[in-house]
């Protein structure tokens, strides 16, 4: 059953005391830390984050209603601000008009803070030394409520009577920029003079590097609407905010939203299940960006909390993930703070369409091993008609691989060219887990696959060729070990004519190791000799090897003619050729070769005689014995 | 003398014509009076019985007699003043003899003619074997009666298609012309073949051709060689008309009803929509030395791309299978064919125009042949662009190469301004015909070197 749950809670939740009359719990979205404030801080403040090994604890003398956490990281004192600006403990700041109500504040960087009142926003710089704030900018606007996205420092303000016109502001390095406002389309306009859009139904999140405003659109039960939906508005720095995606929930009730690994997770309270959406996954049947859940809704994998102490009686209580408070990315249960995680393995079995699955996996963070295991699995079954699927999967992998290689290449080129006109420093491309290269495929998938005895060799070869085709299609240089795998498989099944044809069309690219491998096949397949020589010739850096091959075949004259044709005959060892010529037991051949070197000596040194360094005495003696003294070239005397 | 031979003599000195063609096995009628039993096939059939027996007996005697001189290499041919006899023993004790009538006044080409017609004779057997299996298997299955039936049925038609007067060096090579293709398109074809073989798992072997040139063979080389010969000289020429016909021509196959693709069967059903369509495919025999497989031969073509699918003969192929194949292969092959065409045109533009050199290239290792001398090889005629005398010189050079194991090069000054150069390097042979006014030996040698450097720079070809 555990295969069913594709969502789980992280292993080590942040544990804290339950919120109660004496204990206040706050969550700092920017730093992802939980603050447990006992008795208004008088008895202690405990700060815990998911990555923190130890919690920070300190005491605070004054009663707190609200906390600002940004400086906790720097271990600086906490600033407190009280509503209406009444006597803060460290720094106090009065903001807005007299009758203005402070709705809240957000830290946009470690020393910048924004106050939101019902009449507008005020942007301050914090001067810790002076214990004061400096107003950077302000903007007057009627505000119902606000939502803040800490990752991008964007604040959304709800304006107008119905509350459905949203005004975003972006903050960056001391500047506040007003972005174009947009209207959320409400389902039904009932009573016009009432706030309809609630902040509970709006969330801001970064998905695939883009900022989106997510609107949970409830449908009235009376209508024949299929159910609620999440409407995504793409928020761009410049230009209008556009409605970009609709996520169909097909049900009604209470929902909560999370974004995990660029997936939108919608939790449905009454069914206690969660929907998962990937906005990059396109439904083939519609051009509009209407998305159905990637997978059927499932509950989050039950989390077992090990109870300690005698009360536990050795049992573990599964927490029915009934969620009290939901923050983006985090799930805050009673007394625990968890990360929500997506489990990829169950997705593999739930998502049958391999092409969709691969796309989905390639967009996930920890996908490499899962992808590789999907590949292995897909090949091992060898279902009928699976080859086109294999091809699609390979193409998808190689597309990502190619994009990375290109980015890497242009980075290297940019670095070599030195600092360019633009001042922007070149960023080395990040190699994500989705980059599955040839060695990954070889080690984890293909080398094991070719060893399998239960798969037909036809299929093995077809798969290898398909992978090579895909690499070629993306113009990726194929590594020689893949060729070796192909050759090994072909030789193993005695399919040498097939191999011959592949080489004939240069499907297996030339290389010295490959040429040597072919030479070794000559005894079982004679044409391999010719194929190997051709390959060495094309490499044009293997002239010595060609000479060796020819000499080993006793083609002494051929070797000599070849080395002469490439202009290397002045540097070759005379002894090597004479040795080879002697071995043929062909007197005329020996004579010819001997005469060639005599002439070379004459040309290079002015004398036909061999030097002692050439170690040809034995051959000179043989020549003399066979053809007589008078057959030697006479040294030219000037 | 028949009148036909007389006119032939006037026109050309050596237009050969088929006098006799017979197949015998000396073991079948060893006793006197039973000689007729030895004869399994005799062409022409209307020859008087005693003459048949006499001719067969003569051949038997010659073979026996010459065997005493060289037991390992039996006689291959016998030259008489008017005739040439060619002997071939393809299977133990089975002899095929071809007697040609030709007058050769000029004896230079003698050796070459033996090579050419020896090859033609062997090809006759190979072609028979492709469609009928070996003699021995027929004997096992149905004795002499079945064998003689098969021989009669096959050779009666086949001998009519022999065009003895246009045989030349290419018949000796029996090569395969490969279609030049870039790696990517080749891999696409591979992918196509693998996919079809995977989804139609009945298919045992596949061969892929484009423009009558081979691109991929799942069959072993020797089987492919003869199948290629059949396809290019017999099957394809018979079916080339519909493509050459205009779009609106009635000859054009039924594409209007099926706009998805241009695929059609060259063997088997000519029109799938025809309710009377027959789903019979020719059967071929391959790997006769070991596994001995009998296969259905399905040839399917879309535009210039032709694919042979071979399926075990024990499988029943009906309408359902053919429709499945048509639906699967038709659209893909149509797409692939236009891909290849496009790629081919790009490559041709890149590499420039056709070379002005006239040459024949053959590689014994992969049977690859290339000729810029032959314009078009069809069933009826082999058109060459050079004078027959030059072709004869090529043949003689080849005969020289056969005799020697080592690499060599021969340059011949022919009549007028023609030079003929033959080169042999390892397993490759190249023949070039040059026509240069007042060229000398050195210039010709340089010219050939240049040709090798441009046309054959990617293979190891010794200068």
Kindly report, residue by residue over A484-510, the tens digit of the pLDDT: 999 999 999 999 999 999 999 999 989
Partners of B287 on chain A (C-beta within 8 Å) are none
- Residue B260's pLDDT is what? 72
Residue of chain B whose alpha carbon sits nearest to that of A389? B195
Residue B19 touches partner A, C-beta closer than 8 Å: no
Q: Which one of A458, A473, A538 has the shortest CB-CB distance to B184?
A: A473
In order, the DSSP letters of A431-484 are --TT---HHHIIIIIIHHHHH-SSS-HHHHHHHHHHHHHHHHHTTPPPPHHHHH
Which residues, at least 6 apart from B160, have a Cβ–Cβ distance to it below 8 Å?
Answer: none
Most A CBs within 10 A among B200, B228, B347, B365, hence the mutation to make, goes to: B365
**Count of residues for chain A?**
638
Q: Which one of A469, A472, A534 has the shortest CB-CB distance to B460?
A: A534
Omega before B418 cis (within 30°)? no
**Distance, in angstroms, between A450 CA and closest chain B CA?**
17
Q: Look-up: residue for tokens 């009906």?
A: B318
Q: Which one of A505, A531, A546 has the shortest CB-CB distance to B183?
A: A505
Partners of B195 on chain A (C-beta within 8 Å) are 387-388, 391, 462
Partners of B459 on chain A (C-beta within 8 Å) are 534, 537
Helix (H, G, I), strand (E, B) or coil at B140: helix
**Minimal CA–CA distance to A340: which of A231, A278, A264, A251?**
A264
SS (H, E, C) A232-300: EEEECCCCCCEEEEEEECCCCCCEEEEEECCEEEEEECCCCEEEEECCCCCCCCCCCCEECCCCCCECC
Tokens, residue B418? 């023609």
**Distance, in angstroms, between A338 CA and closest chain B CA?**
48
Q: Do B197 and A546 touch (CB under 8 A)?
A: no
Q: Do B187 and A459 touch (CB under 8 A)?
A: no
Which residues, at least 6 apart from A566, have a Cβ–Cβ distance to it below 8 Å?
Answer: A543
Tokens, residue A397? 């992998």
**Distance, in angstroms, between B339 CA and closest chain A CA?**
14
Query: Count of CB contacts below 8 A, A vs B?
Result: 91
Q: Which one of B187, B199, B201 has the shortest CB-CB distance to A465?
A: B187
Q: Do A387 and B366 touch (CB under 8 A)?
A: no
Residue of chain B whose alpha carbon sits nearest to that of A460? B194
- Residue A319's pLDDT is what? 42
Partners of A498 on chain B (C-beta within 8 Å) are 218
Distance, in Å, from the CA atom of B250 to the CA atom of B248, rounded to the nearest integer, reads 6
Q: Do A385 and B460 touch (CB under 8 A)?
A: no
pLDDT tens for residues B425-456? 888 999 999 887 788 888 888 888 888 887 77
Q: Do A505 and B181 touch (CB under 8 A)?
A: yes
**DSSP tag of B415:** S
Q: Which one of B218, B366, B462 has the shortest CB-CB distance to A558?
A: B462
Element at A496 (helix H, strand E): helix A496-504
Let me know if B329 is exposed, middle or buried by CB neighbors in 10 A (0-12, 13-18, 19+): buried
Distance, in Å, from the CA atom of B267 to the CA atom of B239, rounded to the nearest integer, reads 10
Most A CBs within 10 A among B194, B208, B324, B407, hence the mutation to make, goes to: B194
Q: What is the pLDDT along chain B (463 residues), one digit of tens a residue?
A: 333 333 333 344 457 788 899 999 988 877 877 888 889 999 888 888 889 999 999 988 988 888 888 888 878 888 887 788 899 999 988 999 999 887 665 555 567 788 888 999 999 999 999 999 999 999 999 999 999 999 999 999 899 888 887 788 888 899 999 998 889 999 999 999 999 999 898 999 999 999 999 999 999 999 999 999 999 988 988 887 555 554 444 444 444 445 678 888 999 888 888 888 888 999 999 999 888 999 999 999 998 999 999 999 999 988 999 999 999 999 999 999 999 999 888 877 776 655 567 889 999 988 999 888 887 555 455 567 777 788 888 888 898 888 887 788 899 888 778 899 999 988 899 999 988 778 888 888 888 888 888 777 777 776 6
Residue of chain A whose alpha carbon sits nearest to that of B181? A505
Q: Is residue A626 a contact partner of residue A587, using CB atoms and an 8 Å limit?
A: yes
Q: Which one of B184, B195, B217 has the shortest CB-CB distance to A472?
A: B184
Q: Is residue A476 a contact partner of residue A404, using CB atoms and an 8 Å limit?
A: no
Residue B194 touches partner A, C-beta closer than 8 Å: yes
Partners of B186 on chain A (C-beta within 8 Å) are 505, 507
Helix (H, G, I), strand (E, B) or coil at B338: helix
Most A CBs within 10 A among B180, B190, B452, hence the mutation to make, goes to: B190
Residue of chain B whose alpha carbon sits nearest to that of A558? B462
Residue B197 touches partner A, C-beta closer than 8 Å: yes
- Residue A313's pLDDT is what? 37
Ranges of chain A with pLDDT below 50: 1-2, 61-90, 307-331, 423
Range list of H helices, A285-429: 344-350, 354-362, 368-381, 387-416
Q: Which one of B190, B220, B366 has the shortest CB-CB distance to A504?
A: B366
Residue B453 touches partner A, C-beta closer than 8 Å: no
Q: How far is CA B279 from CA A346, B236, B257, B266, in A?
A: 48, 19, 20, 12
Residue B436 touches partner A, C-beta closer than 8 Å: no
- The pLDDT > 90 percentage for chain A reads 23
Let me know if B359 is exposed, middle or buried by CB neighbors in 10 A (0-12, 13-18, 19+): buried
Phi, psi (deg, nearest 5) at residue B315: -85, 140
Partners of B462 on chain A (C-beta within 8 Å) are 558, 561-562, 565
Partners of A530 on chain B (C-beta within 8 Å) are 363, 365, 426-428, 460
Distance, in Å, from the CA atom of B127 to the CA atom of B161, rounded to the nearest integer, reads 12
**Distance, in angstroms, between A538 CA and closest chain B CA?**
6
**Distance, in angstroms, between B138 CA and closest chain A CA?**
29
Tell me which residues of chain A have a C-beta less than 8 Å from any C-beta of chain B: 384-388, 391, 458-459, 461-462, 465-466, 468-469, 472-473, 497-498, 500-501, 504-507, 526-527, 530-531, 533-534, 536-538, 546, 555, 558, 561-562, 565
Q: How far is CA A262 from CA A173, A216, A368, in A?
A: 26, 18, 17
**DSSP tag of A631:** G
Phi-psi region of A162 (alpha: psi -120 to 50; beta: other; left: phi over 0): alpha
Residue B408 touches partner A, C-beta closer than 8 Å: no
Residue B191 touches partner A, C-beta closer than 8 Å: yes
Residue of chain B whose alpha carbon sits nearest to that of A554? B406
Distance, in Å, from the CA atom of A613 to the CA atom of A623, rounded to the nearest integer, reads 18
Q: Tell me the CA end-to-end span of chain A in Å, nearest whole number.
A: 101
**Minimal CA–CA distance to A560: which of A581, A530, A588, A539?**
A581
Which residues, at least 6 apart from B246, have a Cβ–Cβ distance to it below 8 Å?
Answer: B252
Q: Which one of B183, B199, B428 has the shortest CB-CB distance to A384?
A: B199
Residues pairing with B284 in the sheet = B295
* Dihedral (CA of A583, A588, A589, A594) sign: positive
Partners of B463 on chain A (C-beta within 8 Å) are 561-562, 565
Residue B427 touches partner A, C-beta closer than 8 Å: yes
Q: Do A530 and B426 touch (CB under 8 A)?
A: yes
Q: Which one of B187, B201, B428 has the shortest CB-CB distance to A472?
A: B187
**DSSP tag of B178:** B
Q: Which one of B183, B201, B366 has the shortest CB-CB distance to A472?
A: B183
């Amino acid at each position: 059953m555990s295969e069913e749950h594709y969502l789980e809670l992280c292993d080590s939740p942040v544990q804290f005391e339950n919120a109660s009359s004496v204990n206040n719990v706050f969550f700092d979205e920017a730093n992802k830390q939980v603050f447990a404030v006992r008795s208004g801080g008088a008895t202690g403040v405990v700060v815990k984050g998911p990555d923190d090994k130890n919690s920070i604890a300190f005491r605070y003398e004054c009663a707190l209603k609200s906390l600002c956490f940004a400086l906790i990281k720097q271990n600086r004192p906490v600033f407190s601000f009280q509503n209406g600006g009444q006597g803060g403990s460290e720094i106090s700041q009065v903001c807005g008009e007299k009758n203005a109500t402070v709705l809240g504040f957000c830290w946009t960087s470690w020393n910048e803070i924004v106050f939101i009142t019902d009449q507008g926003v005020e942007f301050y710089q914090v001067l810790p030394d002076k214990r004061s704030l400096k107003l950077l900018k302000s903007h007057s606007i009627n505000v119902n409520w606000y939502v803040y996205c800490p990752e991008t420092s964007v604040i959304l303000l709800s304006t107008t009577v119905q509350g459905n016109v949203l005004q975003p502001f972006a903050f960056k390095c001391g500047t506040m920029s007003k972005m174009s406002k947009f209207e959320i389309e409400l389902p039904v306009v009932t009573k016009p003079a009432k706030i309809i859009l609630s902040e509970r139904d709006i969330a801001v999140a970064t998905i695939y590097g883009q900022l989106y405003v997510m609107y949970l659109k409830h449908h009235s039960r009376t209508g024949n609407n299929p159910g609620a939906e999440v409407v995504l508005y793409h928020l761009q720095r410049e230009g209008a905010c556009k409605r970009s995606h609709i996520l169909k929930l097909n049900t009604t009730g209470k929902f909560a939203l999370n974004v995990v690994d660029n997936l939108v997770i919608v939790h449905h309270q009454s069914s206690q299940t969660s929907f998962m959406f990937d906005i990059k996954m396109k439904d083939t049947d519609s051009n509009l960006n209407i998305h159905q859940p990637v997978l059927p809704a499932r509950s989050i994998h039950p989390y077992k909390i090990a109870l300690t102490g005698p009360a536990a009686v050795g049992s573990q209580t599964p927490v029915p993930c009934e969620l009290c408070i939901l923050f983006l990315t985090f799930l805050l249960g009673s007394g625990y703070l968890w990360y929500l995680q997506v489990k990829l393995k169950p997705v593999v079995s739930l998502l049958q369409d391999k092409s969709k699955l691969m796309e989905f996996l390639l967009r996930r963070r920890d996908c490499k091993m899962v992808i590789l295991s999907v590949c292995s699995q897909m090949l091992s079954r060898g279902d009928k008609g699976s080859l086109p699927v294999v091809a699609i999967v390979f193409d998808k992998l190689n597309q990502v691989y190619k994009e990375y290689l290109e980015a890497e290449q242009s980075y290297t080129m940019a670095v070599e060219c030195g600092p360019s006109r633009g001042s922007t420093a070149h960023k080395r491309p990040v190699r994500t887990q989705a980059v599955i290269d040839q060695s990954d495929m070889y080690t984890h998938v293909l080398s094991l696959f070719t060893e399998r005895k239960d798969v037909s060799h036809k299929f093995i070869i077809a798969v290898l060729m398909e992978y090579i085709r895909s690499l070629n299609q993306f113009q990726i240089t194929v590594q020689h070990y893949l060729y070796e795998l192909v050759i090994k498989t072909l030789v193993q099944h005695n399919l040498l004519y097939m191999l011959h044809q592949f080489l004939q069309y240069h499907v297996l690219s030339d290389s010295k190791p490959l040429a040597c491998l072919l030479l070794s096949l000559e005894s079982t397949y004679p044409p391999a000799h010719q194929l190997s020589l051709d390959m060495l010739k094309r490499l044009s850096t293997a002239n010595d090897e060609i000479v060796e091959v020819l000499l080993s075949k006793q083609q002494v004259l051929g070797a000599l003619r070849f080395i002469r044709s490439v202009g290397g005959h002045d540097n070759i060892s005379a002894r090597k050729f004479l040795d080879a010529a002697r071995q043929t037991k062909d007197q005329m051949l020996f004579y010819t070769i001997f005469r060639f070197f005599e002439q070379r000596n004459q040309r290079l040194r002015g004398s036909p005689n061999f030097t002692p360094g050439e170690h040809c005495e034995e051959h000179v003696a043989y020549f003399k014995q066979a053809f007589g003294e008078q057959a030697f070239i006479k040294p030219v005397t000037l | 003398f028949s009148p036909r031979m007389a006119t032939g003599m006037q026109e050309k000195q050596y237009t050969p014509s088929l006098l006799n063609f017979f197949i015998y096995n000396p073991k079948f009628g060893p006793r006197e009076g039973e000689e007729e039993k030895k004869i399994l096939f005799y062409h022409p059939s209307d020859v008087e019985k005693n003459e048949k027996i006499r001719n067969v007996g003569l051949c038997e005697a010659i073979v026996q007699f010459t065997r005493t001189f060289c037991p390992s290499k039996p006689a291959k041919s016998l030259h008489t003043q008017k005739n040439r006899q060619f002997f071939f023993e393809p299977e133990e004790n089975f002899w095929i003899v071809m007697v040609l009538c030709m007058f050769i006044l000029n004896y230079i080409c003698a050796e070459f003619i033996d090579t050419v017609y020896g090859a033609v004779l062997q090809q006759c057997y190979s072609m028979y074997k492709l469609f009928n299996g070996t003699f021995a298997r027929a004997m096992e299955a149905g004795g002499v009666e079945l064998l003689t039936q098969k021989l009669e049925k096959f050779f009666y038609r086949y001998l009519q298609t022999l065009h003895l007067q246009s045989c030349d060096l290419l018949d000796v090579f029996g090569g395969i012309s490969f279609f030049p293709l870039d790696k990517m398109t080749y891999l696409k074809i591979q992918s196509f073949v693998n996919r079809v073989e995977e989804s139609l798992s009945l298919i045992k072997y596949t061969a892929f051709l484009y423009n009558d040139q081979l691109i991929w063979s799942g069959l072993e080389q020797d089987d492919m060689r003869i199948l290629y010969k059949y396809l290019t000289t017999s099957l394809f020429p018979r079916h080339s008309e519909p493509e050459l016909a205009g779009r609106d021509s009635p000859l054009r196959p039924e594409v209007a009803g099926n706009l998805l693709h241009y695929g059609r069967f060259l063997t088997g059903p000519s029109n799938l929509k025809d309710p009377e369509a027959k789903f019979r495919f020719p059967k071929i025999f391959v790997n006769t030395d070991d596994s001995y497989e009998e296969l259905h031969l399905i040839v399917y073509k879309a535009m210039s791309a032709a694919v042979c699918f071979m399926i075990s003969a024990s499988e029943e192929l009906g309408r359902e299978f053919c429709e499945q194949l048509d639906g699967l292969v038709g659209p893909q092959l149509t797409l692939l064919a236009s891909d290849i065409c496009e790629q081919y045109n790009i490559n041709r533009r890149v590499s420039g125009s056709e070379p002005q050199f006239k040459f024949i290239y053959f590689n014994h290792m992969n049977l690859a042949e290339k000729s810029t001398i032959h314009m078009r090889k069809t069933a009826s005629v082999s058109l060459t662009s050079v004078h027959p005398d030059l072709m004869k010189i090529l043949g003689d050079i080849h005969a020289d190469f056969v005799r020697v194991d080592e690499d060599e090069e021969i340059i011949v000054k022919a009549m007028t301004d023609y030079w003929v150069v033959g080169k042999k390097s390892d397993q490759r042979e190249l023949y070039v015909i040059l026509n240069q006014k007042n060229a000398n030996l050195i210039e010709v040698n340089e010219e050939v070197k240049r040709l090798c450097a441009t046309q054959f720079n990617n293979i190891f070809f010794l200068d």
